[in-house]
Structures are given as structure tokens and as C-alpha cells.
Amino acid sequence: MPGTVIERYLEFARASEVLPGIDNLTLAGVPLTCDATTYVTDGETVGLLRVGDADVALDPLSSSGVQAAIQSALAAGPIVNTLLTPEGDGAAALEFWRNRRASRMFQHRRWARQLYREAFSRYSTCFWADRCGDAPDMAAPATTTPLPHPDHSIVLSEGARLVLAPCLTGTLVKRLECVEHVNLPEPVAFVAGIHVPPLLVQASRPAPAREILAAWSASLAPGVACSLLGWAWRHDILKAAEGLAPNTEWA
């Protein structure tokens, strides 16, 4: 792009259409520039974990760089601790690190593109169109389907799978049994501090909702058991057995 820094700055400002009547405004000072290009460090280096901008540089429009840097630093602590623990599962720790890293990258990329798309909806110029891209929609919230009738049979959904995945447990990363489902952003081991896969196994065969809740309540407080059933139901991890529909009559 030809011209001085000031000329290029003004041209970008005109193209964005954020400042109407920009030619009638006076520039208060000389613009300063820095490289704000997003990047991700390629590959891994043995014995080295990069955190913050040393690993991933986010789009500055998301205003989340400091937050993301702190998150990556906090995540690195248990990883290092696991790698330095003689009986620690180093492979699980590194897999957990890569998963967390990819999740942060995807989330912040989505936030930035949505912000650009909001700008494009007001200023439909090439400047914003080039930056919003195909911004994905926000994940749909969990359904508000009412709980099943206590006497209606429910069962573990065929879309739910129990898998082993690396999880953070205290100060170490370990492989634990998790539930995987299309309605979950990632495999889940704990909900409200409760390891849920053993509870879901009890619903692998159709049974009245009342019986499943009673079985869960044997080891949990009744209110906690009901909350977990609601969580599994809203995410379609538990579903009505064939031929039985839920209603709102919960005793």
C-alpha cells in the first residue's frame, strides 16, 4: 500500500467507515504501529512449554490477551508438576495441554470473528468482510426440555460414549473415564465436582426415572442427584426410552 504511515492510516480509517466525515477531522498526533498479527507457534520443543504470547497471539480486538496468558500459565502448572512426578502420566499431561491450547485458540478466534461480523453488519465494507470470514454461530444453549415423569423409563442415549481422556485432578493430570456427546464441547468427567460416568452406567438399561434418581441418591445428596439428572437430560445424554415421552409432572 503506497504512502506514508499517516496516509495509510487515514485510508484504512476511511475504508472502515467507523468515523463518518473523517476528512473534516484533525489527526491529533502521529500514529504508531506494531505488528498485531495473530499466530500460533508451530510444533513442540522437548522440555519447553510456551505460555502467553510466546505460544499464541490472539486478535487484539477480543481484548482477551492478558486473560488468555494467565489461563495458559495456570494450566502449565499442573502439566509441569505431572511431568516432574515420577509416577505421573506425562503423555496424558501433554495431551491435556494440547487440548486446552486448541480449545483456547478456537474460542478466541470465534470471539474475534463475531466481533468483526458485528462491525460488518453496521459497516458493510471490504475491510470488515475480509476479517469476519465465516464466523461460526455461538453454541446453542442446552435445551429446556422438562424432566421426565418419575415413572417414565429413561436410558443412556446412544449418542453418549464413555471414553478415557486426560483430566485435571488436583495438581496432576490423569486419564479418567469421561462422557462424550455431540452436545458437549469436550469429554466431561466431573459435573459440580461429581464423577458422572459411574452414575451414567447405572442408566445403561431403561429404568424409571424415579429408580435412577433413587440409585444416585444413595451416594449423593438428593438435591445433587436431581441436578445431575437434569444436566444429563438437558444435554440429551439421558433420553426417554422408546415410545415414552417426557412431561412436566415431576414429583
Q: Cα separation of 5 and 32, whole Å? A: 8
Sign of the torsion angle spanned by Cα atoms 247, 194, 102, 94: negative
Type of residue found at 206 = P
Over residues 167-217, the pLDDT tens digits come to 998 899 999 999 999 999 889 999 989 999 999 999 999 999 999 999 999
Residue 3 has pLDDT above 60, yes or no: yes
Q: Cα separation of 35 and 17, whole Å? A: 22
Please report which helix (H) or strand (E) contains residue 105, including its range: helix 90-122
Residue of 44, 41, 43, 36 lying closest to 52 (CA atoms): 41
Q: Which one has a higher pLDDT value, 113 or 154? A: 154
Judge whether 49 and 79 are in contact, CB under 8 Å.
Answer: yes
pTM listed for this prediction: 0.71
Judge whether 238 and 142 are in contact, CB under 8 Å.
Answer: no
Over residues 224-239, the pLDDT tens digits come to 999 999 999 999 999 9
Over residues 156-178, the pLDDT tens digits come to 999 999 999 999 988 999 999 99
